[in-house]
A and B are shown apart, each in its own frame.
Chain A
Amino acid sequence: DVKVTQSSRYLVKRTGEKVFLECVQDMDHENMFWYRQDPGLGLRLIYFSYDVKMKEKGDIPEGYSVSREKKERFSLILESASTNQTSMYLCASSSPGQGAAEAFFGQGTRLTVV
C-alpha cells in the first residue's frame, strides 16, 4: 500500500517556537507538496519540490521554509510560529509527467499555535 506519512496528527506549539513538520513518502515520487487547509479557503499551496534540494514557492510561502535533503522526505519549517499559522497542514507527493498522475496525501497535521 502506497503511503505518505506525516510525523504528527496533532501538534500544539507556543508563539515564537520553531516548528518542524515532517513528511515521508515511499513511492519514489519526484514531486512533493505542502498545503495548508483552512475553512472556506480550501487547500493553499505553501511550497513544492520537484527534486532533492529543489524547491519552489507556492501561493503563501511567507513565514515558512522547506527542506528536501532526501527524495523521500520533505520538511516544512515554521521559523517563528504565530497564531495565524494555526491550521491543518497536508503533505502530498506525485510523479511528474503528462497524464493523470494523481497526488497522494498524508493524513494531515493539525497544528495549534498558542
Chain B
Amino acid sequence: GDSVTQMEGPVTLSEEAFLTINCTYTATGYPSLFWYVQYPGEGLQLLLKATKADDKGSNKGFEATYRKETTSFHLEKGSVQVSDSAVYFCALSDWDTGNQFYFGTGTSLTVIP
C-alpha cells in the first residue's frame, strides 16, 4: 500500500543554517506530493506541493523537488529562521487509492538564535 517515510527528529539548527528533511514514498499510482507545517497548538497548513516528476514546489524559501526515480520529495531551505520552528509533515495523495492522504510521522524542527 501507499506510505510515506520521513526523517526522524527532532532537528535543532542555529539560525541561518541549511535545512534538509528527507522524505521518501511508496505509491501504487502516480501521486501528488505535499509538505505541511504545523505550528504549536494549530492544525496543519500546506507549505508546498508538486504533482509530477521533476516539479519543484516552493514557498517561503522552502523547496522540494518531486523525484520519481528515487521516490523522494526532500524539503530544503537555505537559511532557517527562528520562526520556522514547527513540525513538518510529508504527505502524498494518490488518485488510485481514492485520494486518501498518507502522512509521514512528522519532523520537529527547532531553530535557535
Contact = CB atoms under 8 A, between A and B. Distances in A.
B50 A43 contact: no
A94 B49 contact: no
Contact of B51 (A4, A42, A100, A105): A100
Contact of B103 (A4, A40, A42, A96): A42
A29 to B, nearest CB: 11
A21 interface: no
A33 B42 contact: no
Given A43-B89, A90-B43, A90-B44, A102 B106 contact: no
A101 B93 contact: yes
Interface string B49-83: 11100000000000000000000000000000000
A22 to B, nearest CB: 15
B112 interface: no
Nearest to A94: B99
Interface residues of A, number: 29
Contact of B46 (A33, A90, A102): A102
B100 A48 contact: yes
A103 B101 contact: yes
B100 A45 contact: yes
Interface in A74-97: 90, 92, 94, 96-97
Contact of A105 (B32, B45, B95, B99): B45
A92 B106 CA distance: 17
Interface string A17-46: 000000000000001010100001111010
